[in-house]
């Protein structure tokens, strides 16, 4: 018999760091997953529109991926990279083929955070510079280094994290830091980078790192000119461009395998985690060979590139391609965005809908004219959606953005069901509000 949520909350409180929190006033104990569906210990079924934070792109306990993993578990589990690991080397070869441009050499580890750390260290060693540029509202992970590159004030701690990071404007048109309007703004957010570089750095930077669509930041999606302009400036100042594809990679945004490809630019490095192995713990980055070869730091990640995770990553990639999950993300994304356009006309709580494919953010505001964020209402909408059997995520600088990111295997009925649930939840919450 599974334990009750109350028992689990007691264990959490007593034995786990207090920073580990859960969604929901009344959390559930999820005990089973099957593709886009989850079941809790009472037998209640949920349609998952968060995918374990954009990780389970090919679905929960996907039978094809799990068959490959089961076979590998029984064959060889772990030896470490002091030996040749066939599944890792095959995955590295495949990664060079599936990523754009001259990206060629990879490093494998166990989480996005680790991959970010090592990618930044590699860029620093290549350029022999210490200075890093990141975007406001970014999120790159949990370690001393990754926190330093994270542009969220809640992550500024009373102890030191990686220094020498300068933050430039993200392409957050809905809340433009320059109070301008696209396209007459001439993409000032991107052009401002030059001023940051001239005023705040030595002029020789190591790297520019960005999530093409900001995940934790609430799916901030810059205009088409943003990355072409920024990458050109970064190149002129000698920096390495790093695309953090931890949330946006592996077909999530439709049309392309990786989210940066929507902007038609080729980064010098790409970082992966989450959706790369469909829920198995993984982190990796790939770089142009001359950049990768500059790394002479510690070479061991004990479990990095282990056979089980690598087989999972390869089976996941094959599944994405064979089942056209990129095409499905695009098609289902269109239904989702069309449906949300209708909900926007009906619900004053919706300030903006943004994103690409099945990486869809809905920013909720108390007042459309002042754009006052609605974080408490966002929590209530999420709770009501959960009670109605649909799980959605939350994010945003003001914690007021619903993140709708189902496994990429969802069908049109699933999307319509999520839209109906969201419609009802918004209606219920709006009834308790007074709009100007
Ligand atoms: N980069 C991005 C864009 C992320 O969203 C995250 C995790 N939310 C990370 C890096 C860190 O990944 P991990 O939690 O696997 O360390």
The ligand 1 atom nearest the CA atom of 53: 8
- DSSP letters, 82-117, are TS--HHHHHHHHHHHHHS-TT--EEEEESSHHHHHH
Q: Among candidates 263, 285, 9, which has minimal Cα distance to 126?
A: 285
| Spacing, Cα 111 to ligand 1 middle (Å) | 7
Residue 160: pLDDT band with limits 50, 70, 90:
confident
Q: Among candidates 355, 364, 365, 367, which has minimal Cα distance to 405?
A: 355
Residue 249: pLDDT band with limits 50, 70, 90:
very high
pLDDT for res 162? 82
- DSSP letters, 186-211, are -SHHHHHHHHHHHHHS-S--SEEEE-
pLDDT, tens digit, 9 for 90 and up, residues 257-288: 999 999 999 999 999 999 999 999 999 999 99
**Percent above pLDDT 90 for the chain:** 94
| Spacing, Cα 406 to ligand 1 middle (Å) | 17
pLDDT, tens digit, 9 for 90 and up, residues 318-338: 999 999 999 999 999 999 999
- For ligand 1, atom 1, the nearest C-alpha belongs to 140
Compute the distance between CA of residue 107 and CA of residue 262 in angstroms, rounded to an integer.
Answer: 25
3-state SS assignment for residue 326: helix
- For ligand 1, atom 13, the nearest C-alpha belongs to 112
pLDDT at 436 over 70: no
The preferred substitution site among 274, 277, 359, 396 for testing ligand 1, maximizing ligand atoms within 8 Å of CB, is 274
| Spacing, Cα 385 to ligand 1 middle (Å) | 25
Q: Which CATH class is domain 65-322?
A: alpha beta
Compute the distance between CA of residue 117 and CA of residue 145 in angstroms, rounded to an integer.
Answer: 6
48-70 average pLDDT score? 98
The ligand 1 atom nearest the CA atom of 112: 12
The preferred substitution site among 56, 113, 309, 394 for testing ligand 1, maximizing ligand atoms within 8 Å of CB, is 113
pLDDT at 190 over 80: yes
The β-bridge partners of 210 are 243
pTM for this model (two decimals): 0.98
- Residue 254's CB: how many other CB atoms inside 10 A? 23
Hey, where are the domains in the chain?
65-322, 348-395
Which is it for the CA torsion 170, 172, 173, 177, positive or negative?
negative
| Spacing, Cα 253 to ligand 1 middle (Å) | 17
Q: Which residues line ligand 1 (CB under 6 A)?
A: 53, 111-113, 116, 139-142, 211, 215-216, 244, 246-247, 273
The β-bridge partners of 356 are 359
3-state SS assignment for residue 152: coil
pLDDT, tens digit, 9 for 90 and up, residues 195-246: 999 999 999 999 999 999 999 999 999 999 999 999 999 999 999 999 999 9
């Amino acid at each position: 018999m599974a334990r009750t949520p109350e028992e689990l909350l007691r264990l959490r409180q007593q034995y786990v760091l207090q920073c580990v929190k859960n969604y929901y006033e009344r959390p559930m104990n999820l005990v089973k997953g099957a593709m886009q569906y989850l079941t809790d210990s009472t037998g209640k079924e949920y349609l998952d529109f968060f995918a374990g934070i954009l990780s389970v792109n090919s679905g929960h306990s996907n039978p094809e991926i799990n068959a490959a993993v089961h076979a590998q578990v029984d064959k060889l589990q772990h030896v470490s990279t002091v030996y040749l690991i066939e599944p890792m080397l095959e995955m590295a070869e495949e990664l060079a083929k599936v990523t754009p441009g001259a990206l060629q050499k990879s490093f494998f580890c166990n989480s996005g955070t680790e991959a970010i750390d090592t990618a930044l260290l590699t860029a620093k060693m290549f350029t022999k510079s210490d200075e890093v540029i990141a975007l406001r509202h970014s999120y790159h992970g949990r370690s001393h280094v990754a926190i330093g590159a994270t542009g969220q004030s809640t992550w500024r701690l009373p102890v030191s994290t990686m220094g020498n990071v300068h933050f430039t404007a993200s392409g957050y048109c809905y809340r433009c830091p320059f109070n301008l309007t696209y396209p007459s703004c001439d993409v000032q957010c991107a052009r401002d980078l030059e001023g940051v570089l001239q005023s705040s750095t030595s002029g020789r930077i190591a790297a520019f790192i960005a999530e093409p669509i900001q995940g934790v930041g609430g799916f901030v999606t810059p205009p088409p000119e943003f990355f072409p302009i920024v990458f050109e400036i970064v190149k002129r100042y000698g920096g390495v461009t790093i695309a953090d594809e931890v949330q946006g990679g592996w077909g999530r945004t439709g049309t392309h395998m990786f989210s940066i490809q929507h902007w038609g630019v080729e980064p010098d490095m790409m970082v992966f985690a989450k959706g790369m192995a469909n829920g198995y713990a993984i982190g990796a980055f790939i770089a142009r060979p001359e950049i990768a070869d500059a790394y002479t730091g510690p070479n061991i990640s004990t479990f990095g590139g282990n056979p089980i995770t690598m087989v999972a990553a390869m089976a996941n990639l094959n599944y994405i391609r064979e089942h056209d999950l990129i095409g499905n993300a695009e098609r289902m994304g269109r239904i989702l965005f069309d449906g949300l356009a209708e909900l926007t006309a009906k619900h004053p709580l919706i300030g903006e809908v943004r994103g690409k494919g099945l990486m869809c953010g809905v920013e909720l505001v108390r007042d459309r004219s002042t754009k006052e964020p609605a974080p408490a209402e966002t929590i209530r909408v999420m709770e009501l959606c959960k009670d109605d059997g649909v799980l959605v995520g939350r994010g945003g600088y003001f914690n007021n953005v619903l993140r709708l990111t189902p496994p990429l295997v969802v069908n049109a009925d699933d999307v319509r069901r999520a839209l109906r649930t969201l419609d009802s939840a918004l209606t219920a919450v709006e009834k308790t509000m007074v709009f100007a």
